[in-house]
Structure 1
Amino acid sequence: MFKILFWNARGAGSENFRSAISDLVRLHSIDILAICEPRVQFARASTTLNNLGFSDSRVMEAEGFSGGLWLLWNKNKVKVDFIDENFRSISIKITLTGKPAWMLTVVYASPNHTSRASLWSYFDNLAANNNLPWMLIGDFNELVSSVDKNGGSFNGKFGGLRNWINRNAMIDKGFQGSCFTWSNNMVKERLDRGFCNCAWRALFDEAFTGTSPKPG
């Protein structure tokens, strides 16, 4: 079974991070690892990640505490070709034995509503220029439905994501695990998700997204 782990680390320089990521990767036999919001430069964690068997990476460094996205894989286990990136996403082509090539996009959308808005048109163009089965996973920092939130205001929580889903006939891959992926003990939200197009779902009809909550 091919496995991808996306983790909003909220800091990847600590001993707690090194211990937790080592346990997760080894316990679940992770093939591709994506980390967002590391709050440190990649060099601070590269030794730990390389020791877990990840030989190759594509890195967008954080600007201070803002942004940052790391994507890692082992070239001896999976064939990866770079497609495109911006400050909030990295897209690659994955070729697995016995399957057609497909596109993976890992996402860490801006928590700022205005900054986030340009991401959806970027994804429109990405889809138009790459006619591949496509799966996206990550922190979209936006709600799709009112049931994705428990407590607090909805102000700024809806934007272009729902329109983008409908415009591109994307499928929400659903989830196993917690209904919410972010909480500050008073408010709970489902911000981390997996989407795919119909061609990708036809290839991997049993694939699912597992979730667990992260603290605010």
Structure 2
Amino acid sequence: MDLLKLLIWNCRGAGNKTFKHNLVEILRSHKLEILIVMETKVAFSKMGNFFNRLGFTASTIVDPIGRVGGIWILWDTNHVNVRASSVGPQVIHATIHKEDYEEWVLAAVYASPNPLLRDNLWTKLEEVADNMEKPWLVAGDFNDYANQSERRSYSTNQCSTRPQKFLERINKCNLLDLGSSGPRMTWTNNRQGLANTMERLDRALRNED
């Protein structure tokens, strides 16, 4: 049985030549069936033909507001069916169906840097968790880290309660971290020396099913 192959990519801009070149190279190696692109910085209308040529002929879209945010789910209809059930600026929920597989639910997350808006996101995720009866994958950029080892910074301005609150939210949703390989930190402010901060903001969580 073939595995379903998907990529969740916080690309920090989808309209440039580097993104397009890198995506083509990834597709040559991995034959993706589902692609989730976040922090796109451009409207999907400017990219639709490009994705169609790559075989991603169906999509569910939340465009960025200005150059902030954006979640695009694209898929190859020859191999998989994706049915969106709720669409918002911080999360898209969709049921994934592939022949010979049990249906499961994907939550593609791009959490706001605003703490109050993130609270709204987690309130909605907890509501979904209370009624979830299928395998559930919650993945993307959570704009939060789970412990101090997931943050490297010379700044003394660190909130010790922030990771604890994040873990409490994960636990309330009965989610487990799938772990990762490669670089531990997934985000940097790109500053040099003592001004540099790195954090693990991206992760994949799943329920028991």
Normalising by structure 1, report the TM-score. Answer: 0.86
How much does 1:67 deviate?
1.3
Q: Distance in 2 between matches of 1:164 and 1:157?
A: 11
Q: 1:204 matched to which residue of 2?
A: none
SS at 2:68 equivalent = coil
Change (3 A) 1:107 1:159: farther
Where does 1:5-16 land on structure 2 (aligned, <5 Å)? 5-16=7-18
Runs of 4 or more off by more than 6 Å in structure 1? none
Task: Read off the aligned partner of 2:169 and give its amino acid letter.
Answer: W
Task: Give the aligned length.
Answer: 199
> What percent of counterpart residues are identical?
33
Q: 1:195 matched to which residue of 2?
A: 205
Could you list the per-position Cα deviations for residues 18-37 of structure 1 after superposition, in whole angstroms to 9, with x for gaps in the alignment?
11121122222111101111
Q: Name which of 168, 179, 182 aligns with 2:184.
A: 179
Q: 1:128 matched to which residue of 2?
A: 130
Normalising by structure 2, report the TM-score. Answer: 0.89
Unpaired segments of 5 or more residues in structure 1? 200-216
Where does 1:5-84 land on structure 2 (aligned, <5 Å)? 5-84=7-86
Unpaired segments of 5 or more residues in structure 2? none
Could you list the per-position Cα deviations for residues 126-155 of structure 1 after superposition, in whole angstroms to 9, with x for gaps in the alignment?
223332110011000001111111113434
Q: Distance in 2 between matches of 1:159 and 1:41?
A: 36
Q: 1:154 matched to which residue of 2?
A: 158
Q: Distance in 1 between matches of 2:47 and 2:75?
A: 15
Q: Distance in 1 between matches of 2:201 and 2:77?
A: 30
Change (3 A) 1:47 1:160: farther
Q: Distance in 2 between matches of 1:128 and 1:79?
A: 25
Q: Distance in 2 between matches of 1:157 and 1:41?
A: 32
Task: Judge conservation of contact 2:125–2:173 (CA < 8 Å) in 1.
Answer: no
Q: Which structure has the bigger radius of gyration?
A: 2
Q: Distance in 1 between matches of 2:27 and 2:112?
A: 26
Q: 1:211 matched to which residue of 2?
A: none
Task: Judge conservation of contact 2:147–2:164 (CA < 8 Å) in 1.
Answer: no
RMSD of the TM alignment (CA)? 1.7
SS at 1:97 equivalent = coil
SS at 1:54 equivalent = coil
Task: Read off the aligned partner of 1:113 and give its amino acid letter.
Answer: P
How much does 1:83 deviate?
1.6
Task: Read off the aligned partner of 1:181 and give its amino acid letter.
Answer: T
Task: Read off the aligned partner of 1:163 and give its amino acid letter.
Answer: E
Task: Judge conservation of contact 2:151–2:197 (CA < 8 Å) in 1.
Answer: yes
Q: Distance in 2 between matches of 1:15 and 1:69?
A: 19
How much does 1:111 deviate?
1.3
SS at 1:176 equivalent = coil
